[in-house]
Amino acid sequence: EVQLVESGGGLVQPGRSLRLSCITSGFTFSDHPMSWFRQAPGKGLEWIGFFRSKAYGGTAEYAASVKGRFTISRDDSKSIAYLEMNSLKTEDTAVYFCASGTFLTFDYWGPGTLVTVSS
Amino acid sequence: DIEMTQSPSSLSTSVGDRVTITCRSSQNINTYLNWYQQKPGKAPKLLIYVASNLQSGVPSRFSGGGSGTDFTLTISNLQAEDFATYYCQQCYSTPPTFGGGTKVDIK
């Protein structure tokens, strides 16, 4: 069974940093791109970025709204993806999801972790 | 970025009804369009990929169609477990973008 579980969310002050983890199992992690999304309270889905598998270059792409502040990485030996978030703003408050699948189709999602940016 | 527009934003309906949700892209995306279902407090669930292909395990009452810039998601014989929010998403190019969602609730 494919499983993805995010962790690391919580309350953080504006300007601080936070790292989220996405622990996966049940599929060949190294073969798939890993993506991150967020959903602000009562709002729609926003893609944050993804990290390609090694076979497709092992590089990352980001949404313009987070580029330069957020960094996605992956550890294929542990089947874990990470989202490092720096210089957090109140508008980054959201539920953050990791997801996997093929290129831009997202078959499997974690349940999400809430990040609240507030003083 | 490709803009995705869904309509309606919400609709009230009854068990057994047929529901159609539309999605329009700001440019031609061929059939590179996915549909997701999301229930409150849960992650999105892939229903249909590449416009008309039913994801494994998804009931056959869900169907998708369209190409180019105009797409539809149809739910036939709506069931109680189908009350949720539905999102379209273009998978044509980066960044992948979503429609604003259509909330289907009970009349």
Write the pLDDT tens digit of every residue in B54-100. Answer: 999 999 999 999 999 999 999 999 999 999 999 999 999 999 999 99
Separation between Cα atoms, residue B99 and residue B95, nearest integer Å? 13
Contact assignment for A105 to B46 by CB distance below 8 Å: yes
Candidates A68, A84, A67, A66; CA nearest to A12 is A84
8-state DSSP, B102: E
Judged against a pLDDT cut of 90, whether residue B40 lies above it is answered with yes
Residue B45 is predicted with a pLDDT of 98
Specify the pLDDT at position B107: 85
Q: CA B38, CA B82: separation in Å to the nearest integer?
A: 10
Q: Are A22 and A4 in contact (CB under 8 A)?
A: yes
Q: What pLDDT score does B106 carry? A: 87
| Closest alpha carbon within chain B to A105 | B91
Percentage of chain A exceeding pLDDT 90 = 97
Task: State the pLDDT at residue A87.
Answer: 97
Mean pLDDT of chain B: 97
Tell which residue, A75, A36, A26, A70, has the closest CA to residue A54. A75
A105–B91: do the CB atoms touch at under 8 Å?
yes
Instruction: List the structure tokens of A105.
Output: 């189709």
Place A21 in a pLDDT band, splitting at 50, 70 and 90: very high
A69 pLDDT tier (thresholds 50, 70, 90): very high
**Is B99 part of the contact surface with chain A (CB cutoff 8 Å)?**
yes
